Structure 1
């Protein structure tokens, strides 16, 4: 009986659940991304190209932090911005109650801003 109990305990220990990483830190996201395209009125599928802010970058780090060389809020603020991120959203520290949805498809990072008329920025990876 002791052998069965010991064997069962050993099996449970060996196959126990492992702790999963709670931070997203996708290797495909980590690195510096440069703004390549801005679309307004993107919500209706007929997006209009807007002038992309020249030189705007967003850098993602493995520790869940984000640094942008311009504000991540929809303002003309050209000051550096910091944020955190998870698997779906970026949370800028300089915008109250704002979260920006992001996705990567075909090596293009798309950041969607929460506004009525729709505003999307597209970035390409410049370095890792």
Structure 2
């Protein structure tokens, strides 16, 4: 019985000490490139020098230093939102239903896609800064 209890204690202790795997999205990301497409589908990412930053948190929330809502008059006001890694989706509170923005992440590159906000492809590329 003592061996069984000891075994149970060791297994419980080991499971409690394992770190949860942190999402690769968690941290600060800075805008570095914007996709410029003249409407023919042959657009390319162009380097930009902006201070647009998104910070993602472990709890599925995010904060930005600018607005991501297409109809906002003042784009310099930051905002909060949520993200879902399973559906690669950012949700911003732009309207009552929210504005849904797709994303993809590849190592230290984050690409945000605005599928409903532009007639041509509309994407931004971010690099992790923290």
Alignment match of 1:126 (pick from 99, 108, 129): 129
Query: Structure 1's 112 and 30: CA in aligned 2 closer, same or farther, altered over 3 A?
Result: same
Cα distance, 1:43–1:81 mapped onto 2, change above 3 Å: farther
Q: TM-score, normalised by structure 2?
A: 0.67
Q: Map 1:107-126 onto structure 2 (within 5 A).
A: 107-114=108-115, 115-126=118-129
TM-score with structure 1 length normalisation? 0.68
- Aligned partner of 1:90 in structure 2 is 90
Q: Which 5+ residue runs of structure 1 have no aligned equivalent? A: 1-24
- 1:97: Cα distance to partner? 3.9
RMSD: 2.5
Unaligned runs of 5+ in 2: 1-20
Deviation at 1:27, TM superposition (A): 2.3
Give the total of aligned pairs: 103
Could you list the structure 1 runs, at least 4 aligned residues long, displaced by more than 6 angstroms after superposition. none
- Shift of the 65–37 alpha-carbon distance from structure 1 to 2, 3 Å rule, reads same
CA distance in 2, matches of 1:109, 1:69: 17
